[in-house]
Chains A and B, each alone.
Chain A
Amino acid sequence: MIFISELIMPLAFVGIILYGYSKDVDIYETFIDGAKNGVKIVFQIFPTLIGLMVAIGILRESGALDFFCKLIMPITKMLGFPNEAVPLTFMRLISSSASTGLLLDIFKKYGPDSFIGRLVSVMMCCTETVFYTISIYFMSVKIKKIRYTLKGALLANLCGIIASLYITKIIFGGA
């Protein structure tokens, strides 16, 4: 699998360049034009990213997030969801880098082959940073009312989390 991921980039380059030649495209000029566009996009995201990361950084450092997770732990216990995975589950919706940090912390503490280690591995595969993605995408086109987007995305992620819990239990057993 690591072999496949190593192959993707070289294949993309070779495939795109050869296809470009076959269709007689000025590939270098097209590349430069496209790259300019990329620079523009980053400058568009830049202010949003600063605003968002500051807010998340403050929320994380204050301990409010951990406190919130502890509050809802009785509920997760009832559902058979491991307590230790709760902070990660919520952080996953907010910040990709912070959730990666929490994931590695769980691997360190319990091992990747423990029940919780496997559960969080599967969970990271099927969930997304909902709040971050919504901010970036909707702010870039100045949309203020996002209607049912947040509800829908959270529900879909919840379905993924529930599926992770059951598939992990069924395939690997335990807990």
Chain B
Amino acid sequence: MLNYLWGSMILIGILFSTFSGNLSNITNAAINSSREAVNICLTMLGILAMWTGLISIAEKSGLINSLSKKMMPLLKFLFPQLSEKSKAMQYICTNIIANMLGLSWAATPAGLKAMEELQKINPQKDIASREMCMFMIINMSSLQIVSINIIAYRAQYNSMNPSEIIGPGLFATLVSTISAIIITKIFEKCDRA
């Protein structure tokens, strides 16, 4: 999947610019993008290290555990095969909580750890497990309760009421997350690979 996605993005881009006559942009695009990636990683290095440090205190002291317990009934429904005490479940929980608070830079490390743990109990190492699919689809259905950046951008462009979109945004987020759960449950029934 990713083999084709990645390759075809580049090939289509180059093919297209050959015909539209802006092939000269491609070199710059490749160089600038790779440089941009380094800048993002440098920023992430500091923020991620700071956050994983802080989170590991919360982990060791049992704070995450006590927060997780409140979400367990829902998670149990989503991941019936995972035990409540498993590390995978804890990381999934952290990821979901961080996503809800809009701390995407905090959600990513927990999410990657969750995938690592899920991979350990995955019987076929190159095929996504059921739990991975469920976790990823929920993760990508957008869980954020308040999109604070959007409100800031709106204020920057002189909106009369920048925060007026909180309610509608929350509603739309609920719709996408609930549909994600329903859709995945249906796919699980259809696909028994």
Contact = CB atoms under 8 A, between A and B. Distances in A.
The interface residues of chain A, by DSSP majority, are classed as: helix
Given A41-B52, A62-B22, A163-B171, A125 B9 contact: no
B146 A49 contact: no
A13 B63 CA distance: 12
Contacts of A23: 60-62
B32 interface: yes
B127 A143 contact: yes
B133 A140 contact: no
A117 B44 CA distance: 30
Nearest to A114: B159
B169 A121 contact: yes
A79 interface: no
A1 B119 contact: no
Nearest to A131: B5
Interface in A62-88: 62-64, 67
Interface string B122-140: 0001111000110011011
Interface residues on A, range: 35 or more
Contacts of B71: none
A30 B157 contact: no
Given A42-B41, A131-B5, A125 B54 contact: no
Contacts, number: 349
B179 interface: yes
Nearest to B112: A140
Contacts of A49: 37, 40-41
B30 A142 contact: no
**Which residue of B13, B38, B161 has the most chain A CB atoms within 10 A of its CB atom?**
B13
Contact of B159 (A1, A113, A135, A138): A113
Interface residues of B, number: 107
B1 A156 contact: no
Given A63-B22, A128-B141, A134-B136, A58 B1 contact: no
A19 B58 contact: yes
Contacts of A64: 12-13, 16-17
A52 B42 CA distance: 16
Given A44-B112, A61-B22, A137-B136, A163 B54 contact: no
Closest 10 CB pairs of A and B: A34-B56, A57-B33, A160-B176, A125-B169, A38-B52, A156-B180, A38-B49, A126-B172, A35-B53, A61-B29
Interface of A: 1-2, 4-5, 8, 12-13, 15-17, 19-20, 22-23, 25, 27, 30-39, 41-42, 44-46, 49-64, 67, 100, 103-104, 107-108, 111-113, 117-118, 121-128, 130-131, 133-153, 155-157, 159-160, 163-164, 167-168, 171
Given A112-B157, A126-B169, A146-B128, 20 more contacts: A5-B102, A20-B63, A31-B53, A33-B56, A38-B53, A42-B41, A42-B49, A45-B41, A54-B37, A57-B30, A58-B33, A62-B17, A108-B157, A126-B142, A133-B136, A143-B132, A153-B180, A156-B176, A159-B175, A171-B168
13 contacts: A8-B103, A15-B63, A22-B61, A31-B53, A41-B108, A50-B34, A57-B29, A58-B26, A64-B16, A118-B164, A139-B2, A144-B2, A153-B136
